[in-house]
């Protein structure tokens, strides 16, 4: 299978899984979508689980170089954190299929797929984020803090369609730079932030 054919299969898989969920997409559905036989698809991917993990890795790998560039800089930990948040917001904002895929997975919460995603896709980024948080002197409950940072970004992006109709909404609230700065400030300084008391 050529690289372009494999990319086509994986991109199609990402799109189908993100829109319909893991359980609703069969290998037959995917084979039909990419105009090949089911047997040919099984020749390249041993089962749906293997194809699924490859699809998520494919979706995330497209963005991985930006994250790697953040971790490899010699900048202070707080600037690394800010740049990570910016990259993460950008990924979730610009790649709707990847965002929906992750949201669906978290809702399904299948233990085996969660473990595959954690170990095969997100492990290194999470490890790097936890390391930066520890460098900031936040050495207690580092895992929880890293998870909180990720959850905050994910939920802010997920809430955008609703937030537009809530009091106080402004267009800048959906801009990548604004979100990244606000999330980093909230994480570093708490709700009081730079504005003083609540």
pLDDT at 196: 52
The residue among 30, 7, 34, 6 whose CA lies nearest residue 17 is 30
pLDDT in tens, 96-149: 888 888 888 888 888 888 888 788 778 889 999 999 999 999 889 999 999 999
pLDDT in tens, 12-51: 998 898 888 888 889 999 999 999 888 888 888 889 888 8
Domain assignment present for residue 170? The answer is: yes
Q: How many CB atoms lie within 10 A of CB 84?
A: 23
Residue 146 structural domain? 3-191
| Res 62 pLDDT > 80 | no
Domain assignment present for residue 35? The answer is: yes
Count of domains for the chain:
1
Q: What distance in Å separates the CA atoms of residue 129 and residue 81, rounded to the nearest whole number?
A: 7
| Res 73 pLDDT > 90 | no
Domain assignment present for residue 86? The answer is: yes
Q: pLDDT-based confidence at 195, cuts 50/70/90? A: low
pLDDT at 101: 82
Q: How many CB atoms lie within 10 A of CB 99?
A: 18
């Amino acid at each position: 299978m050529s690289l372009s054919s494999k990319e086509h299969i994986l991109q199609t898989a990402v799109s189908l899984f993100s829109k319909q969920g893991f359980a609703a997409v069969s290998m037959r559905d995917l084979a039909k979508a990419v105009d090949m036989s089911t047997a040919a698809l099984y020749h390249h991917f041993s089962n749906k689980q293997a194809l699924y993990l490859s699809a998520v890795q494919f979706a995330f790998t497209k963005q991985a170089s930006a994250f790697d560039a953040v971790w490899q800089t010699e900048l202070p930990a707080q600037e690394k954190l800010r740049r990570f948040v910016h990259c993460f917001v950008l990924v979730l904002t610009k790649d709707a299929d990847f965002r929906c895929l992750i949201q669906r997975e978290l809702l399904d919460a299948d233990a085996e797929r969660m473990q595959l995603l954690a170990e095969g896709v997100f492990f290194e980024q999470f490890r790097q984020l936890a390391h930066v948080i520890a460098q900031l002197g936040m050495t207690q409950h580092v895992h929880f803090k890293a998870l909180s940072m990720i959850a905050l970004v994910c939920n802010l992006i997920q809430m955008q369609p609703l937030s537009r109709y809530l009091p106080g909404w402004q267009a800048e609230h959906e801009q990548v730079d604004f979100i990244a700065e606000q999330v980093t400030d909230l994480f570093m300084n708490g709700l009081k932030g730079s504005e003083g008391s609540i």
